[in-house]
Amino acid sequence: MDLHSLLHTSTSAVQSVQVLETYFGRTLVTDGKTQSAEHDEFVYHESLVHPALIWSAILSSRHDRSSAPKSVFIGGGGELATAREVLKHNTIERVVMVDIDSNVIEVSKKYLPEWGGEAVLNHAKIEYIVADVEQYLQGSNEEFDVIIIDVSDPIEAGPAVSLYTQEFYQLVAQKLDRYSVSVTQAGSASFIQLVHSSLGIEEGGNDAESTCFGPIRNTLAAVFDHAIPYSAPVASFGEDWGFVLAFNGRDTLAREIVDLPHEVIDNLIEERIQAVAGVPEHKARSVGANRVTTGKERGGDLKHYDGVVHRRQFALSKPLREMMKLDQRIMTVANPIFMY
C-alpha cells in the first residue's frame, strides 16, 4: 500500500493510532494494522451491520415485532462508521456504543468526518460511553435486538483479546432475547495458512495458525444455535474479510438466511434505509462506487450491500470451507488464540 503522507500519530493508554494518506485514500491504522480506508470502508461497515439488522427484522416480523430492530449495542466501532450504518435503519430508537479508547473517536472526528463524525456522535439516538466493553455489559441489565462487536483483531497483548472468547460470547447471549442477533468481525477470510509458530496444532500448539476466522465461528457455535460465517472483499486489507452472524432458533434458519431471495433484501432496504443527515460524502472514493450509487436510485444510501451481494457473502470458497472444517479450536480465557 503506497504511503503518501502521515496526517496524525498518537499513542493512548490502549493503542497507537495513525491517520495516513495512502493509495486507498485516508486510512486509519491502530497498532500498525489498517482498520479502514476511504476507498472501501463502506464495504467493511455495510457488510458488518446490514446482514445482522436485516435478519433481525425478518426474525422479528415472524413474531409480531415488525418494527424491530429498535435497540443496538456496538462494542468498539471507534471510527463511528458502524454507528453510521446502524442509524440508516429507520426502525432504530436507541444505539449504545461503548469503546475503550476515546482517542480513536477524537481522531476520527477530526480526520475522518465521512465515517460519521459529529453527525453520528451527536445524534439523538446515540449514547456513547468510554468504557471496557465486557465490563459495561456485565454491569448492564439492558437487552438489545442486535449486538455488534467491531473491535480490533485478537492480537497478543492487544486490547480486544477477551472479546473473542467463549466466556464473552456467553455474556453477549445473556443480553439478547430469543429473536435477537449478534455479529462480529472475524479477521482474514483467506484459505492460505500463515503459520507464525514452529509448534503446529497437531503437536499441541494452540496458536500456530494465524487465522482466527474458524475459531471465532467455532466459539460462537458453542454458545448459539447458529454461527454463520460470511465474507466481503476489502481491498485495503489486501484480502477477503470474515464476519460471523450468531443467533438462536430452529435448525432450518441457517439455510434460510443464506438463501434469502434478493427481492426480500432489496425491498427491506428500500423500506428501511436512509442516509444519516450531516455525514459528508467521501471526497475520494473508487469511481465505480460513486458511479453506481448516487443516492437517488433504489437502495442508493448503501454503496455495497444489496440482495445479490447478500447471497454472495455467504458463499465461501471451497478451500476456505474445507480449511474451516479442519480447524476445531475454540477461544477461551484460559486458551486464547492470537491472530499474530
Q: Is the peptide bond preceding residue 69 cis, with omega within 30 degrees of 0? A: yes
How many of the other CB atoms lie within 10 Å of CB of 87?
Answer: 25
Three-class secondary structure of residue 258 per DSSP: helix
What is the model's pLDDT at position 205? 46
Give the distance from CA 141 to its chain's centroid.
Answer: 24
Cell of 233: 472483499
CA distance 142 to 248: 19
What is the model's pLDDT at position 200? 47
Three-class secondary structure of residue 241 per DSSP: strand
Three-class secondary structure of residue 313 per DSSP: helix
Which strands, in side-by-side order, build the sheet including 71-76?
A: 126-130, 94-99, 71-76, 144-150, 176-188, 239-247, 226-234
What is the per-residue DSSP string for 193-229? --B--SS-GGGT-SSSB---HHHHHHHHHTTSSEEEE
Q: Which parts of 164-212 fold into alpha helices (H)?
A: 166-174
In a structure prediction context, what are the per-residue pLDDT tens digits for the chain, which is 340 residues long? 678 899 999 999 999 999 999 999 999 999 988 999 999 999 999 999 999 999 999 999 887 666 889 999 999 999 999 999 999 999 999 999 999 999 999 999 999 999 999 999 999 999 999 999 999 999 999 999 999 999 988 877 778 899 999 999 999 999 998 889 999 999 999 877 665 533 344 444 444 556 899 999 999 999 999 999 999 999 999 999 999 999 999 999 999 999 999 999 999 999 999 999 999 988 755 555 555 444 444 446 899 999 999 999 999 999 999 999 999 999 999 999 887 6
What is the per-residue DSSP string for 43-84? HHHHHHHHHHHHHHHHHHHTTT-TT---EEEEEE-TTSHHHH
What is the model's pLDDT at position 1? 61
Q: Which residues contact 13 (CB under 8 A, 6 or more apart)?
A: none
What is the model's pLDDT at position 197? 36
Task: Give the DSSP H/E element, type plus range, for residue 183.
Answer: strand 176-188
Cell of 194: 500463515
Backbone φ and ψ of 243, nearest 5°? -140, 155
Q: Which residues contact 273 (CB under 8 A, 6 or more apart)?
A: 88, 89, 90, 299, 301, 302
CA distance 179 to 248: 7
Strands 239-247 and 226-234, how do they pair?
Answer: antiparallel
What is the model's pLDDT at position 340? 66
Tell me which residue of 121, 119, 128, 114 sits closest to 276, measured CA to CA.
119
Q: Tell me the whole-structure pTM to 2 decimals.
A: 0.91
What is the model's pLDDT at position 61? 87
Position 326, amino acid:
L
Strand partners, 181: 146, 247
What is the model's pLDDT at position 210? 66
Residues assigned a catalytic role: 150
CA distance 95 to 281: 22
- Residue found under cell 464473552: 168
